[in-house]
């Protein structure tokens, strides 16, 4: 009885692995040839019915994150960069944010994504790193004051957006976005 159950679990695991591989290959084929986005990150976006059913039933725990992250790692830490990368992949899975998420992942991959923490008064260039990153100091201010000084506004005082629906950074003219990674908010710019 136990060996039959073991064989069933092994067969089921093999099926899930094969579906994950084919899903990743499908995502890789749909990316532009010049893209530097890791296809395995975007493969997370395409749920399979089997994984959802098993996960909802609670019979098996499938975790995308092999590591545990600090509750609020410093923006300069390598653990924040890993958490940010996963957050960007999740952002790309949202249909409303797919284009923005992919652009931000591309900027992350080329280390042109800037992450601002106006409360702490730091800005870093995000990217794949195994060590802590250096930061530039900026004036530590509240969010309201920071956004008033950084995000371009329309005549009616609403935030200005470009044709892709991203905010426009007033100082650099780059695309901008602000959102929560983990339990803290950050402001992002990218070319």
Residues 82, 56 share a domain: no
pTM over 0.85: no
Q: Residue 55 is part of which domain span?
A: 1-64
Number of domains in the chain: 2
CA-CA-CA-CA torsion sign (60, 66, 67, 71): negative
Q: pLDDT by residue for the chain (191 residues), tens digit each?
A: 555 555 544 555 455 544 545 555 554 454 555 555 555 555 555 544 443 433 343 333 334 443 444 456 788 888 899 999 999 999 888 888 888 999 999 999 999 999 999 999 999 999 987 777 888 999 899 999 999 999 999 988 889 888 888 999 999 999 999 999 988 999 999 99
85 and 170 together in one domain: yes
The alpha carbon of 154 is separated from its chain's Cα centroid by a whole number of angstroms, namely 28
> How high is the pLDDT of residue 50?
41
Domain match, 100 and 49 both: no
> In terms of domains, do 44 and 85 share one?
no
Residues 50 and 22 in one domain: yes
DSSP H stretches of helix in the chain: 2-30, 39-43, 49-57, 78-93, 98-109, 143-150
């Amino acid at each position: 009885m136990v060996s039959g159950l073991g064989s069933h679990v092994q067969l089921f695991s093999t099926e899930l692995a094969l579906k994950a591989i084919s899903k990743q290959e499908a995502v890789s084929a749909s990316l532009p040839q010049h893209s530097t986005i890791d296809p395995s990150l975007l493969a997370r976006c395409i749920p399979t019915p089997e994984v959802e059913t098993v996960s909802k039933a609670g019979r098996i725990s499938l975790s995308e994150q092999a590591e545990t992250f600090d509750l609020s790692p410093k923006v300069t830490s390598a653990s924040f960069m890993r958490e940010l990368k996963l957050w960007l992949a999740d952002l790309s899975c949202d249909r409303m944010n797919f284009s923005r998420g992919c652009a931000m992942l591309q900027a992350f991959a080329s280390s042109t994504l800037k992450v601002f923490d106006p409360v702490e008064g730091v800005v870093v260039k995000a990217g794949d790193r195994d060590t802590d990153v250096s930061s530039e100091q900026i004036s530590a201010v509240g969010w309201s004051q920071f956004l008033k000084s950084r995000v371009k506004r329309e005549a009616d005082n609403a935030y200005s957006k470009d044709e892709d629906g991203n905010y426009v950074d007033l100082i650099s003219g780059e695309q901008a976005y602000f959102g929560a990674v983990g339990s803290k908010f950050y402001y992002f710019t990218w070319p």
